[in-house]
């Protein structure tokens, strides 16, 4: 059984910093990533910016790993563009660690999320997360878009666009689908304004979604992409000393791992994990749940409030309990998540 590839969707308005973030992830993650770029009207420029960032030494390999979709807004051409493109990329899944999708500034994320669950591909990929970029400087001046004229020009030039959605509704849709919200250009505005923007955004997003200020696209890649090695939970890319830097202030990231041989109630545990995401501001959680009598463990992937689970064979060298067991890695902004999970497990013994 082949491993599922994580698909990460990066959305946000034109000029929010999506390509800058994408370049940083390609340069810093040490992962072999394929990229789908859909920035109608400037797709050639975005493609060149990504190609020139030095993430791949082989020109032929670059052409195989970067796909530019310029037939219009991807959410409106999802059946014509997205499905055949991702099927082509999945032919090379053994040589990839994941797929990144940079959407058009006009895109609604929901059609893409629905497409990932289509029968043709749903057993081969999973949603690794929806990352919404917000231009904090523009938002502080009253609009989520820095250049509304450029956005309207993009809308007028896209003949395939089949949704006439206002900027406000587009913004609400991008936020409502987000698993992580990144406030770009946060270094250009005061801390008090950042606090106010976060407070307003929290009213529009799902409970458990984190809002993080960044500048110049700089962020720990593991927050966006998860663990570097999908085959082994022992090989962790999360560092106990990791931090986010914003305006000379650090936000410490707490990394912890759990390995227990224990029988438990699966349904109750997954619900408890969702609650822990909010309480301890869990950004990433992954692991395996082992059940007595089952050969395959349940794979668990969480980013913010989003949880994906499926049964998949574990590598031969992985830890295996004699009966039931739990193996998790957690990355959070607050300490105490590990202790709370262990407490819950001991209360959920079946």
Which of 225, 254, 281 is the last residue in one of the domains? 225
Predicted TM-score (pTM) of the model is 0.86
Report percent pLDDT > 90 for the chain.
Answer: 38
Query: Which residues partner with 6 through β-bridges?
Result: 126
Share above pLDDT 70 across residues of the chain, in percent, rounded to a whole number: 79
**Are residues 50 and 170 located together in one domain of the fold?**
yes
Please report the pLDDT score of residue 160 as a whole number: 61
Q: Is residue 236 predicted with pLDDT exceeding 60?
A: no
Q: Is 212 in the same domain as 74?
A: yes
The predicted pLDDT at position 45 comes to 44
The larger pLDDT score, comparing residue 178 to residue 69, is at: 178
Strands 298-303, 306-311: pairing kind? antiparallel
Range of the domain at 315: 243-347
Tell me what the mean pLDDT of segment 32-57 comes to.
61
Of the candidates 212, 207, 142, 141, the residue with the CA atom closest to the CA atom of residue 183: 212
CB atoms within 10 A of CB 32: 15
Other Cβ atoms less than 10 A from the Cβ of 140: the count is: 18
What are φ and ψ of residue 348, in 5° steps?
Answer: -110, 20
For the cut 90, the answer to whether the pLDDT of residue 233 exceeds it is no
Task: State residue 205's pLDDT score.
Answer: 95
Q: Do residues 57 and 198 both lie within one domain? A: yes
Q: Are residues 146 and 290 in the same domain?
A: no
Q: What is the mean pLDDT of residues 280-285?
A: 91
How sure is the predictor about 189, in pLDDT bands with cuts at 50, 70 and 90? Answer: very high
- Mean of the per-residue pLDDT values for the chain? 82
Residue 235 lies inside a defined structural domain of this protein: no
Q: The CATH number of the domain where 262 resides is what?
A: 3.30.1220.10
Section 147-166 average pLDDT:
71
Res. 96: pLDDT tops 80 = yes
Tell me if 41 sits within 8 A of 153, measured CB to CB.
yes
Res 197 pLDDT > 90: yes
**Contact predicate 178/130, CB 8 Å:** yes
Do residue 221 and residue 264 come from a single domain? no
Q: Based on the fold, state whether residues 201 and 336 are members of the same structural domain.
A: no
What average pLDDT score do residues 274-281 get?
88
| Cα distance between residue 346 and residue 183, in whole Å | 38
Clarify whether residues 111 and 198 are in a common domain: yes
Last residue of a domain, one of 225, 257, 285: 225
Mean pLDDT of 261-267: 79
What is the Cα–Cα distance from 242 to 256, expressed in whole angstroms? Answer: 12
| Pairing relationship of beta strands 98-102 and 298-303 according to DSSP bridges | unpaired
Closest CA to 99 of 44, 37, 178, 166: 37
Rounded CA gap, 178 and 278, in Å? 14
CATH number of the CATH domain containing 88: 3.40.50.300
Between CA 110 and CA 236 the distance in angstroms is 31
Q: Are 75 and 103 in contact (CB under 8 A)?
A: yes
């Amino acid at each position: 059984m082949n491993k599922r590839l994580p698909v990460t969707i990066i959305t946000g308005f034109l000029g929010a910093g999506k390509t800058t973030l994408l370049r940083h992830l390609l340069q810093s993650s040490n992962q072999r990533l394929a990229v789908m770029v859909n920035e109608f009207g400037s797709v050639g420029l975005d493609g060149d910016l990504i190609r020139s960032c030095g993430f791949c030494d082989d020109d032929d390999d670059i052409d195989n790993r970067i796909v530019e979709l310029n037939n219009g807004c991807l959410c409106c051409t999802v059946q014509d563009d997205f499905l055949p493109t991702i099927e082509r990329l999945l032919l090379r899944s053994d040589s990839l660690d994941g797929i990144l999708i940079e959407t058009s500034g006009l895109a609604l994320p929901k059609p893409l999320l629905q497409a990932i669950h289509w029968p043709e591909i749903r057993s081969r990929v999973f949603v690794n997360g929806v990352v919404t970029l917000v231009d904090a400087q523009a938002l502080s001046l009253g609009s989520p878009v820095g250049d509304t004229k450029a956005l309207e020009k993009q809308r007028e030039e896209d003949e395939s666009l089949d949704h006439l959605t206002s900027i406000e509704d587009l913004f609400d849709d991008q936020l409502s689908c987000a698993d992580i919200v990144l406030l770009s250009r946060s270094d250009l505005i005061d801390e008090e304004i950042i606090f106010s923007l976060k407070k307003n955004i929290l009213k529009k997003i799902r409970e458990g979604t984190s809002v993080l200020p960044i500048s110049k696209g700089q962020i720990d890649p593991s927050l966006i992409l998860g663990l570097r090695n999908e085959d082994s939970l022992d090989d962790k890319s999360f560092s106990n000393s990791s931090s986010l830097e914003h305006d000379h202030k650090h936000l410490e990231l707490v990394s912890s791992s759990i390995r227990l041989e224990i029988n438990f109630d699966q349904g109750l545990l997954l619900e408890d994990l969702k609650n822990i995401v909010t309480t301890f501001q869990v950004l990433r959680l992954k692991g395996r749940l082992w059940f007595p009598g089952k050969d395959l463990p349940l794979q668990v992937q969480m980013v913010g409030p989003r949880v994906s689970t499926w049964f998949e064979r574990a590598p031969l060298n992985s830890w295996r309990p004699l009966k039931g067991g739990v193996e998790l890695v957690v990355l959070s902004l607050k300490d105490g998540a590990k202790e709370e999970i262990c407490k819950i497990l001991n209360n959920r013994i079946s």
